[in-house]
Amino acid sequence: MDPYNPGSLAVQDRVGVRALAEHVGRSITPGIRPVAAAFLEAQPMLMIGAADTGDRVWSSLLTGAPGFARATGPGTVSVAGGVPAHDPLAGALTPAGTPVGTLALDPRTRRRMRLNGTARPSARGFTIEAGQVFSNCPKYLQKREWYGSAPDRPGTGTVQHGEALTPAQMRHVRSADTFFIATAAPDGVDVSHRGGNPGFVRADTPRELAWRDYPGNAMFLTLGNLEADGRAGLLFLDWETGTTLQLSGRAHTEYGPEGRFVRFRVERTVETPAGSPLRWSPPEYSPANPADS
């Protein structure tokens, strides 16, 4: 069975990497191998992507003590706690069979694993039935040390909702070295990582973002989804304070002599002060980051 949808295949053909993509695609499996299960259980955070009740796609951050997300079988993951009440995906995973994409990432080791499937509620939080499980290379991952979690607080602060970026949010986006993107297509949802030196994401206006699509693993799952369905959700973290900035909107890819660029139009914003209890060190930038980012 081909692991790629028609959108991904179309991009692979356009870029001329179909043979490489076929080779790399053999790493995509429906099962969770022991090494992948051990990696997942060691992580204090998990990125998840899905559509909300209004069909807007979001990328969200889930956190907990290592083990809060763990494999409970060769094709099943259990996530404790569910989605926080302040998050735009709160309540979105209630219907059994909701398509989701997840990304487990360890900045300490520059390792990451993607698991896509369908979610259903459980007594612990929710369970994911895996459809695709695979690891990615460490390209463009900034190395960070985990300082631990902030002390318990009475709340996460005032959640700010909007339809465009504020000046402070634009500055945050322009200074980011990492963000996460959730995309959707008829065959499911995917969450991926994007990284580079600060400035690799442009905030041209309060509603327009753009970034260069750097060479990756040749799968083109994100760009393939955008070919079929332009909905996308971005997640920016302030690694040192825990503030999260989530954006939902639509994106498309532009191809030109200077390379591929993704342009994203903001439709909704959610900023949550101290949305993450995790605190991380300043980054050690990836040696793969292009100098012009």
Alpha helical stretches, state H, the chain: 6-15, 18-24, 34-41, 167-175, 221-228
Separation of alpha carbons 102 and 261, rounded Å: 24
* 49, two tokens: 């992507």
Q: Where are the alpha helices (DSSP H) in 110-269?
A: 167-175, 221-228
Question: Which residues are registered as beta bridge partners of 236?
Answer: 245
**Ranges under pLDDT 70 in the chain:** 1, 151-156, 292-293
Closest CA to 169 of 243, 240, 88, 245: 245
- For residues 84 and 90, the answer to whether their CB atoms sit within 8 Å is yes
Q: What is the pLDDT of residue 154?
A: 45
HSE-CB of 190 using CA atoms within 13 angstroms: 23
pLDDT of residue 153: 54
- pLDDT tens digits for range 207-257: 999 999 999 889 999 999 999 899 999 999 999 999 999 999 999 999 998
Domains along the chain with CATH numbers:
6-280 (2.30.110.10)
Cα distances (angstroms) measured from residue 259 to each of 44, 173, 274:
36, 21, 36
Angle of helix 221-228 versus helix 6-15 axis, rounded to 10: 120
